[in-house]
Amino acid sequence: MKYIDEFRNPEGVKRLLRLIHGRSQRPVRLMEFCGGHTHAILRFGLRQLLPPTVQLLSGPGCPVCVTASSDLDRAIAMAHLPGVILTTFGDLVRVPGSAGSLQTAKAQGADVRIVYSCLDALAIARAHPNRQVVFLGIGFETTAPTVAATILQAKADGVANFSVLSLHKLTPAAAKAILDAGEVHLSGIIGPGHVTTAIGSRAWDFLPRDYGIPCAIAGFEPLDILQAIYSLVDMIEGDAQAVSNAYTRSVRPEGNHVAQQMIQRVFAVAAAEWRGLGDLPDSGLSVRTEYAPFDAIYRFPVQVGPSQEPKGCRCGEVLRGIAEPSQCRLFAQGCSPEHPVGPCMVSSEGACAAYLQYGEV
Amino acid sequence: MFEDIVLLAHGSGGKLTRALIHEVFAKHLANPLLSKCDDAAVWAALPSGARLALTTDSYVVQPIFFPGGDIGKLSICGTVNDLAMVGARPLYLTAAFILEEGLPLADLERIVVSMASTACEAQVEVVAGDTKVVDNGAADQIFISTAGVGVVPAGIHISGDNAQPGDVILLSGPIGMHGLAVMCQREGLHFSFPLESDCAPLNGLVEAMLRSDSRIHCLRDPTRGGLATTLNELAVQSGVGFEIDEESIPVPHSVQAACELLGLDPLYAANEGKLVAIVPPHAQESILAAMRSHPYGQGAAVIGCVTSSHPGRVVLRTKLGSSRLLDMLSGAQLPRIC
């Protein structure tokens, strides 16, 4: 299939692997920021093909995983309000909050519906004018523009029973938080391909400039990822730090202006709570006051108690790159995709779920 | 005399029930046993020594009509195929219908006609049935349960616990078509290429395989959960390991493309007209040839082998030369968010 087969070509993979094996001398620790990368790396078995000098760590780039318990508790409280239909992406319904999940809320009678896109939620609102439809907006700079577009559409069409609980997060802020914490020493970062398509590769210039480490933006096919790894190894061996783009068919230095403008029109940068990273300033997106009627926080000011993290769960450390999923004593022992304790075991982009599903042999 | 939608009265047991039976079910599914209208079907005793196979399944698919099939065709194929997977020759089926008040009678008739033609192809008869009508909203249009009975010929011993180290794993054709066809129809996704369910009765294919060599160890149709889940079930049941070659698994371009777009994996997508066969190595050639000469096995391929190492686990050798676990489906397949 065009644009897929070329980037899974076994000959190309072998060629890149030869280059990486030939160039890599120093031990390097690279973080793949994005959960999609973790998933692809394990699905294609790439780790076992790399030289022992190259260590890959999973990062915080899984939107479901970084959603804080307190935010989930708020969503569950909204789902229980009379007349509310809570719409969400599928993964999120199974993530345990402080007490129960959206899935258990649904079983208790809340109207929780899985949608494929925010526009589906708007369609539900149109079809049920007497109900209040709340869309649980999670995701990074990739998802936020589509949610912004839906809010603009709802405003233009005068759909009065639609709102968004915006839990959107900004990725560069998370990368900074991990590096500032200094818990893990990183030699380089494999940059998120889809996010960077939206925000542009320049958004990562702070990595070489402020932290002295290189970044290579990668797509999600084996050749994309290996090309990014080669680029990082090559820069590190040459003592060069820059942002390189190994996903040129999608990513531009300036990013996607339309997407950026859409975000800026509807959302304002705000502090956000991240699971594992805590409260980070300027790391989230809240709905601007001029669109307040479409802001679920404004429309349904529910109160939730202090949130609790699941006991023994090390998702927070996995998201910060300081623990591998298998180092958690719950991994595959009481925490599995069927009975997840933490969010990293729920999402298809979560590191724990990927490690368990594709466990190397 | 007929309203054009199903009414609660159609399930009351009175005149409308009789009319529905005569003008829809008996009309299309007629056979001597069904037409007797007794409370149970009675047939002649089987030859002594014959073993019976019995199975049942329920069908709640949405949408009820999809490219390549409908809930009626599925309800016959599913039960026929379950019988075929133990090497049984399907004989008789029962069908129970839960109808939602308001279902257009034309839709019901279309479904029953489809059941009749599929039963005819599979050479089985529907010999008993039941109809219930529930309030609007208490069911989703139509649910069908079918049960089936079949005869296992002497000398055939097919079971999921029979896989032996050294055996060869065969797949009857390209995967993922039913799952993706139904999902795309349900979600209103349209592609420029055809994407049709592979829904088909496989008893003819199994008979052809058994005629070529009766020493088939395991058969299973990879329905819900897809090929990956079926392989895991068989590996666990037999207490052996499987080694699967990713390159050899046929995936149609249409399925691959739809999966890429939706963020799904064809290895976990449902099939309704495919089977996995595990056979001893010396039977491989003749059984593969028999599969390929049957319309429902033309795309048959050897996809792997059985090993005594890593019992209960399926290992996938990727196209890139690496190896990884091929696990069962956990929960539902969901598209990625970013």
The per-residue DSSP string of A69-127 comes to: HHHHHHHHHHHTSTTEEEEE-GGGGGS--SS--HHHHHHTT-EEEE-SSHHHHHHHHHH
Q: Residue A360: its pLDDT value, please?
A: 61
Taking the C-alpha atoms of residue B259 and residue B16, their distance in angstroms, rounded to an integer, is 46
Q: Residue B336: its pLDDT value, please?
A: 59
- Report residue B36: phi and psi, to 5°: -70, -20
Nearest CA in chain B to A359: B325
Residue A281 · residue A71 · CB < 8 Å:
no
* Angle CA A44–A48–A53, to nearest 5: 130
Taking the C-alpha atoms of residue A52 and residue A236, their distance in angstroms, rounded to an integer, is 16
Taking the C-alpha atoms of residue A70 and residue A51, their distance in angstroms, rounded to an integer, is 41
Taking the C-alpha atoms of residue B270 and residue A357, their distance in angstroms, rounded to an integer, is 19
Average pLDDT over residues A209-236: 97
Q: Tens digits of per-residue pLDDT, B215-243?
A: 999 999 999 999 999 999 999 999 999 99
Taking the C-alpha atoms of residue A310 and residue A97, their distance in angstroms, rounded to an integer, is 8
Which of the 8 DSSP states describes residue A345?
G
Asked if A358 and B338 come within 8 Å (Cβ–Cβ), the reply is no
Determine if residue B74 is left, alpha or beta; phi over 0 gives left, psi from -120 to 50 gives alpha, anything else beta.
alpha
Residue A95 · residue A67 · CB < 8 Å:
yes
B338 pLDDT band, cuts 50/70/90, is low
A36, A45, A139 member nearest B324 (Cβ): A45
Taking the C-alpha atoms of residue B169 and residue A256, their distance in angstroms, rounded to an integer, is 48
Q: Chain B residues with CB inside 8 Å of A353's CB?
A: 330
In the three-class reduction of DSSP (H, G, I as helix; E, B as strand; rest coil), residue B114 is classed as: helix
Asked if B337 and A48 come within 8 Å (Cβ–Cβ), the reply is no
**Amino acid at site B306:** V
Q: Chain B residues with CB inside 8 Å of A361's CB?
A: 310, 313, 315, 323-325
Q: Is B323 on the interface with A (CB under 8 A)?
A: yes
Report the run of H or E that residue B169 belongs to, with start and end.
strand B168-171
pLDDT at B93 over 90: yes
In the three-class reduction of DSSP (H, G, I as helix; E, B as strand; rest coil), residue B326 is classed as: coil
Asked if A139 and B338 come within 8 Å (Cβ–Cβ), the reply is yes
Residues 281-320 of B with CB under 8 A from A: 310, 313, 315, 318-320
B257, B319, B330 member nearest A338 (Cβ): B330
Taking the C-alpha atoms of residue A171 and residue A206, their distance in angstroms, rounded to an integer, is 13
Taking the C-alpha atoms of residue B184 and residue B178, their distance in angstroms, rounded to an integer, is 10
Q: Chain A residues with CB inside 8 Å of B193's CB?
A: none
Class of domain A1-311: alpha beta
**Amino acid at site B192:** S
Per-residue 3-state assignment (H helix, E strand, C coil) for B49-108: CCEEEEEEEEECCCCCEECCEEHHHHHHHHHHHHHHCCCCEEEEEEEEEEEECCCEHHHH
The answer, yes or no, to whether ipTM is higher than 0.85 is no
- Identify whether A129 is preceded by a cis peptide bond (ω within 30 of 0): no
Which of the 8 DSSP states describes residue B46?
P
Average pLDDT over residues B107-115: 98
Which residue has tokens 């939730």?
A304
CA distance A8 to chain B (A): 8
Shortest CA distance to A297 belongs to which of A169, A164, A168?
A: A164
Q: Residue B217: its pLDDT value, please?
A: 98
B260, B263, B320 member nearest A45 (Cβ): B320
CA distance A239 to chain B (A): 31
Residue B185 · residue B255 · CB < 8 Å:
no
Taking the C-alpha atoms of residue A134 and residue A88, their distance in angstroms, rounded to an integer, is 9
pLDDT at A234 over 70: yes
Q: Chain A residues with CB inside 8 Å of B336's CB?
A: 36, 39, 348-349
Could you tell me the CA-to-CA distances from A279 to A36, A50, A59, A165, B131 in Å, in that order?
A: 24, 36, 17, 18, 59
A149: tokens are: 């577009």
Return the number of CB contacts < 8 Å for A and B: 93
CA distance B332 to chain A (A): 9
Q: Is B245 on the interface with A (CB under 8 A)?
A: no
CA distance A105 to chain B (A): 18
Nearest CA in chain B to A350: B336
Q: Tens digits of per-residue pLDDT, A318-338?
A: 999 999 999 999 999 989 988
- Report residue A5: phi and psi, to 5°: -60, -40
Taking the C-alpha atoms of residue B302 and residue A320, their distance in angstroms, rounded to an integer, is 43
Where does chain B have alpha helices with state H? 15-20, 27-29, 32-35, 71-84, 105-122, 177-187, 203-212, 226-238, 253-262, 284-292
* Angle CA A57–A280–A256, to nearest 5: 75
Asked if B256 and A49 come within 8 Å (Cβ–Cβ), the reply is no
* Residue B136 burial (CB count, 10 A): 12
Average pLDDT over residues B43-67: 90
Selected residue of B195, B320, B328, B329 to mutate for chain A interface (largest A Cβ count, 10 A): B320
Q: Average per-residue pLDDT in chain A?
A: 94
Nearest CA in chain A to B322: A45
The model carries a pTM of: 0.88
Q: Residue B264: its pLDDT value, please?
A: 87
B333 pLDDT band, cuts 50/70/90, is low
User: Judging by beta carbons within 10 Å of its beta carbon (0-12, 13-18, 19+), is residue A9 exposed, middle or buried?
Assistant: middle
A140 pLDDT band, cuts 50/70/90, is very high
- B326 Cβ partners below 8 Å, 6+ apart? B228, B231, B232, B244, B267, B314, B315, B316
A42, A138, A195 member nearest B324 (Cβ): A42
Residues 255-274 of B with CB under 8 A from A: 256-257, 260, 263
Q: Residue A4: its pLDDT value, please?
A: 82
- Identify whether B63 is preceded by a cis peptide bond (ω within 30 of 0): yes
Taking the C-alpha atoms of residue A57 and residue A185, their distance in angstroms, rounded to an integer, is 11
Asked if A44 and B257 come within 8 Å (Cβ–Cβ), the reply is no
pLDDT at A267 over 70: yes
pLDDT at B326 over 50: yes
Average pLDDT over residues B283-305: 98
Average pLDDT over residues B24-53: 88
One DSSP character per residue, A188-219 reads EEEEEHHHHHHH-GGGGTHHHHHH---EEEE-
Could you tell me the CA-to-CA distances from A48 to A43, A360, B280, B324 in Å, in that order?
A: 11, 8, 32, 10
pLDDT at B2 over 60: no
- Report residue A191: phi and psi, to 5°: -75, 150
Q: How far is CA B154 from the centre of its chain?
A: 24
* Residue B32 burial (CB count, 10 A): 10
CA distance B13 to chain A (A): 34
Which residue has tokens 């065009």?
A2
Q: Chain B residues with CB inside 8 Å of A34's CB?
A: 338
Asked if B337 and A222 come within 8 Å (Cβ–Cβ), the reply is no
B187, B323, B338 member nearest A361 (Cβ): B323
* Residue B154 burial (CB count, 10 A): 10
B238: tokens are: 């037999």
Q: Chain A residues with CB inside 8 Å of B310's CB?
A: 361
- Domain borders along chain A are 1-311, 315-357
Nearest CA in chain A to B264: A348
Q: Chain A residues with CB inside 8 Å of B256's CB?
A: 1, 4
Helix, strand, coil: what percent of chain A each, to 5?
Answer: 45, 20, 35
Q: Residue B1: its pLDDT value, please?
A: 42
A8, A46, A195 member nearest B322 (Cβ): A46
B319, B327, B338 member nearest A357 (Cβ): B327
Residue B198 · residue B273 · CB < 8 Å:
yes
Average pLDDT over residues A73-86: 97
Q: Which of A192-206, B5-19, B120-134, B221-235 has the lowest mean pLDDT?
A: B5-19
Residue B205 · residue B297 · CB < 8 Å:
yes
In the three-class reduction of DSSP (H, G, I as helix; E, B as strand; rest coil), residue A237 is classed as: helix
Q: Chain A residues with CB inside 8 Å of B330's CB?
A: 336-338, 353, 357
CA distance B244 to chain A (A): 13
B171 beta partners: B276, B301
Nearest CA in chain B to A143: B338
Q: Residue B334: its pLDDT value, please?
A: 63
Q: Chain B residues with CB inside 8 Å of A360's CB?
A: 322-325
Q: Residue B194: its pLDDT value, please?
A: 85
- Report residue B148: phi and psi, to 5°: -145, 145
Asked if B323 and A44 come within 8 Å (Cβ–Cβ), the reply is no
Nearest CA in chain B to A90: B334
